[in-house]
Structure 1
Amino acid sequence: MKFAGRHVLAELHGVPAETLNDQPALRAALRDALTGAGATVLQLVAHQFSPRGLTLLAMLAESHASVHTWPDAGAAFVDVFTCGDAADPDRAVTLLAEALGARRVHRQSVPRGETGQVEEPMGAGLHRVWQVSEVLWSGHTGFQDVLIGRTAHGVTLFCDDERQSAEASQLVYHEALLVPALLLAPQVDQVLVIGSSEGVVSQLAVAAGARRVDHVDIDAECVRACARRLPYGYTPEALAAAERGDGPVHVHYADGWAYLAETDRRYDVVVVDLPDERPEDPAAQHNRLYGVDFLRRASSVLTDGGVLAGQAGCATLWRSETLLRSVERFGEVFATVLHYGSDEHEWSFLAGTHRAVEDPVRTVTARLPELPYRPVTLDADALRRGAVLPHATRRPR
């Protein structure tokens, strides 16, 4: 048995007042509806209010159901929650509404437990609901809650309920993050990746000519779960080789801040790929890797002309705070900053270098034909379009 169930919340309207105050009739209607929907009623209790109104509670083998009536309004609140697949809570609400003669029914169904849905926070008072048809792996790693499951976008990675990548669009995301930086850098030989647990960026960097990629991630359990379950990025065999340092990719399970303090290597490109900044949650350990101090530390390991690229948030008006802050921070640290807004719409990326590049857009579009890696999801026109920062970032705050 999986820890999973379905919770149906409903309001019945247009029910005769006398029906909503008739305890024997309501008890019979609720029992029949639950039994007809496949549930097993263990006990049913009711309380009569004065001067009118009823509350009924049914204890089920599958969980519970309740009805709270408002005769003066001709309405009732109904709540049916069942675990497993034997009972159908939606069917129970339908049967009860028919028995009571309801004229209108408003309902919502909430999958709960190991399968069902993920509610991704998009902004204040706004969530996006992902239907998850199958959970492939889930757990708390010590750093974050991770879920890998099948959605309409294919196999999808969620960290703390935020979608990090999906089979259908992961290449759009990862090319948008890495390719502009590769094109802005004078050379691509040594690359450092901080975060990006899937391993796609490491593979793209090698395809673009990097002889060594150091991949630093604090969450070993997440990286290994991605290699086992995601159909993109590292395979288990490739990850095992990278953990041994056998080949161009070297995986280090460490805190990115600490790694930068200890390394004596210099990199042509540094990539910082983290979940979105969460200023509302001071305990989110990755927030510190968005600040100016971290950008300065990361830029200190760059070669002459090297480029730092980072996930910088979202341009959408109601969730653009991270992007607004990131543009200011990059502008404080780097002489040249190049923006790329991806075709996925939600994600913006910034690439910065201490070199003063007179026309960075012309530079990257001119170098595109020479890049050993051939991008699939962007071209010169996309680079020109994506370089335009949202209006909100170009006006004084």
Structure 2
Amino acid sequence: MQGLHLTADLYHCACDAVLMTDADTLARLCRRHTLEAGLTLVDEKWHTFPEFQGQPGGVTGMLLLAESHLAVHTWPERNGVTLDVYVCNFQEDNSRKAEALMKALVEAFRPSDMQRQHLSRGDVDGPADAGELVFEDVAGQAYFGFRFERRLLSRQTAYQRLELLESATLGRTLRLDGRYMTSEAEEFFYHEALVHPAATAHPAPRSALIVGGGDGGALEELLKHRGIEQATLVDLDGEVIDVARRYLEKIHRGALDDPRATVLVENGVDFLARTSDRYDLILLDLTDPDTPAGPLYTPAFFRRCKHALAPGGALVLHMGSPFHQPEQVRELCGTLRGQFAHVRPYGVHIPLYGTYWGLAVASDALDPDAVPGETIHARLEARGVDDLEYYNARVHGALFALPNYYRRLTLD
């Protein structure tokens, strides 16, 4: 049924302590503000928890309303409170009443910090949009989401939470630890941008290493270059590779089983520490720096990558959102400049990530921004790279034309 759902998580509340520990006092407050907001009380239930380790117990309570409910829980040892107000809007719009009740309760607890959520629920005559709406945040500030009709998988691997969802818009979509990784419909934005600027700028890449990239999308783009004789993919989580083989053929298109490809389940740090091979290209197709992939964004790991590059080779990685994660992008650019003579940041809007995304090519010899468009076009034709949705010779130059705010980050 159509309605409004409000939640608030209150921190460091400066209210009278009795409001946190006495059920009768809290109940009177909630009843008063509920009635003052114009909502209809039909029943209630309150419970005070016993003391624990010398700390007073909190209170849990609920008011049942003709319009729906109010739920409260207090944590006196933390001076914290959670509030939950839901009203249906069946015979009239009760949204203002719910907002008034929430406002009064927040003011009564006097928090110094809080998090609030405002969710419109349901439709009058059934769901207008069927399925599950799945949200993600960028740097804890911007939130975006997509609706999925089916949830194919949801399980914990040895390293991360793996989800596979499906929608008419995105097709099959992979999430790891609550973050969107790739989808069938728009994977080309990220994978083409990750692979082709450096691969095409390189005069003759023959060997390549991908660290991460278990979905196989970057590998598939890389193998479009006829000159690639050997491509090694090293991913820590074998379950990601297994799921990709079974469910994400439209992304890897069989590249995971291409005779030129070697697919290993291994820690990328350990692999680079032991390998004696040298690569024309190393692509870091990783989860973000604040995930278990964090050690692969460090100066020590970049040094190992540099050591594993053949003469004229290049390292490619994504850095996050220049707008939402400026300090992360600035720090990574600085770290790369401490290791390589040429660092060329670039960017592309990635629909699945909800924002403009930063990447970089780092090398002691290769500068992809210095390669003319005519040369890029000629190499794509000579190598038979024609099955592209995003990248072309004119886009190549545009990728490296940075907005001023991003450019300033890369120069610090």
TM-score by length of 1: 0.70
Q: How far, CA to CA, are the matches of 1:97 and 1:78 in structure 2? A: 20
The alpha carbon displacement at 1:202 in A equals 1.3
Following superposition, the deviation at residue 305 of structure 1 comes to: 0.6
Pick from 384, 397, 407 the counterpart of residue 372 of structure 1.
Answer: 384
Q: Structure 2 matches for 1:128-277, cutoff 5 A?
A: 128-151=144-167, 152-209=169-226, 210-234=228-252, 239=256, 241=257, 247-277=259-289
Q: Identify which of 66, 86, 89 aligns with 1:94.
A: 89
Which residue is 2:348 aligned to?
Answer: 342
* Ranges in structure 1 where 5+ consecutive residues have no aligned partner: 1-5, 12-16, 28-43, 48-54, 60-64, 70-76, 81-91, 279-283
The answer to whether the 8 A contact 2:346-2:400 is kept is yes
Instruction: Encode CA deviations 1:55-104: one digit per residue, 9 max, x unaligned.
Output: 75459xxxxx63479xxxxxxx9745xxxxxxxxxxx7224757xx8876
Contact 1:66–1:79 (Cα < 8 Å) also in 2: yes
Question: Is contact 2:62–2:70 with CA below 8 Å preserved after alignment?
Answer: yes
CA contact (8 A) 1:337 1:353 kept: yes
Scaled by the length of structure 2, the TM-score of the pair is 0.68
CA distance in 2, matches of 1:348, 1:303: 25
Q: Secondary structure at the match of 1:174?
A: helix
Q: How many Å separate the matches in 2 of 1:142 and 1:20?
A: 51
- What amino acid is the match of 1:263? T
Give the structure 2 partner of residue 87 of structure 1. none
Q: CA deviation at 1:220?
A: 0.6
Letter of the aligned partner of 1:326 in structure 2? L
Q: Is the 8 A contact 2:219 2:255 kept in 1?
A: no
Q: Amino acid of the residue matched to residue 339 of structure 1?
A: P
In the TM superposition, residue 390 of structure 1 has moved relative to its aligned partner by 3.9
Q: 1:293 to 1:46 in 2, by over 3 A?
A: closer
Task: Quote the Cα distance in structure 2 between the aligned partners of 1:96 and 1:143.
Answer: 49
Question: Which is further off, 268-277 or 151-160?
Answer: 151-160
- Distance in 1, matches of 2:33 and 2:402, equals 63
Cα offset for 1:177?
Answer: 0.2
Cα pair 1:8 1:108 within 8 Å, conserved:
yes
Aligned mates of 2:369, 2:170 — CA distance in 1: 37
Q: State the partner residue of 1:66.
A: 69
Asked if 1 retains the 8 angstrom alpha-carbon contact of 2:137 and 2:143, the reply is yes
Shift of 1:171: 0.8
Does residue 300 of the first structure (1) align with residue 316 of the second (2)? Answer: no
Contact 1:335 1:354 survives alignment (8 Å) = yes
How many residues are matched? 325
Q: Per the alignment, in what secondary structure is the counterpart of residue 204 of structure 2?
A: coil
- Separation in structure 2 between the aligned mates of residue 203 and residue 172 of structure 1, nearest angstrom: 13
Q: Distance in 1 between matches of 2:384 and 2:264?
A: 26
Secondary structure of residue in 1 paired with 2:356: coil
| Equivalent pair of 1:194/1:273 in contact (CA under 8 Å) | yes
2:334 maps to 1:328:
yes
Give 1:353's aligned residue. 363
Instruction: Check whether the contact 2:220–2:255 (CA below 8 A) recurs between aligned residues.
Output: no
> Could you tell me how far 1:308 is from its partner in structure 2?
1.2
Over aligned residue pairs, what C-alpha RMSD do you find?
3.7
Aligned residues of 1:97 and 1:105 also touching (Cα < 8 A)? no
Cα deviation code 1:256-293 (max 9, x no counterpart): 01000111211111111112222xxxxx3211111221
CA offsets, 1:34-75, max 9 Å, x none?
Answer: xxxxxxxxxx5457xxxxxxx75459xxxxx63479xxxxxx
Residue 126 (structure 1) aligns with: 142
Does the Cα contact within 8 Å between 1:10 and 1:93 map onto a contact in 2? no
Corresponding residue to 1:381 among 382, 394, 400: 394
Distance 1:325 1:105, change over 3 A: same
Q: State the SS of the aligned residue for 1:176.
A: helix
In structure 2, C-alpha distance between the alignment counterparts of 1:330 and 1:18, rounded to whole Å:
57
Cα distance in structure 1, aligned partners of 2:309 and 2:335 = 17
Q: 1:134 to 1:254 in 2, by over 3 A?
A: same
**Residues 369 and 321 of structure 1, relative CA distance in 2, 3 Å threshold:** farther
Q: Is the 8 A contact 2:321 2:358 kept in 1?
A: yes
Determine the C-alpha separation between the residues in 1 that align with 2:268 and 2:198.
19
**Secondary structure, in 3 states, of the residue corresponding to 1:193?**
strand
Q: CA deviation at 1:145?
A: 1.3
Cα 1:184/1:330, change in 2 over 3 Å: farther
Of 5, 15, 22, 1:9 maps to 5
How far residue 329 of structure 1 moved from its aligned partner, in angstroms, is 2.1
Corresponding position: 1:313 with 2:288:
no
Percent of residue pairs identical = 24
Whether the 8 Å CA contact 2:317–2:360 is kept in 1: the answer is yes
Identify if the C-alpha distance between structure 1 residues 370 and 323 changes in structure 2 by more than 3 Å, giving closer, same or farther: farther
Instruction: State the SS of the aligned residue for 1:342.
Output: strand
Shift of 1:117: 3.2
Query: CA 1:331–1:150 in structure 2 vs 1: closer, same or farther (change >3 Å)?
Result: same
Change (3 A) 1:359 1:177: closer
Cα 1:176–1:357 shift into 2, 3 Å: closer
- CA deviation after TM superposition for structure 1 residue 225, in Å: 1.5
The alpha-carbon deviation at position 154 of structure 1 amounts to 2.6
Assess if the C-alpha contact under 8 Å between 1:46 and 1:56 holds in 2: yes
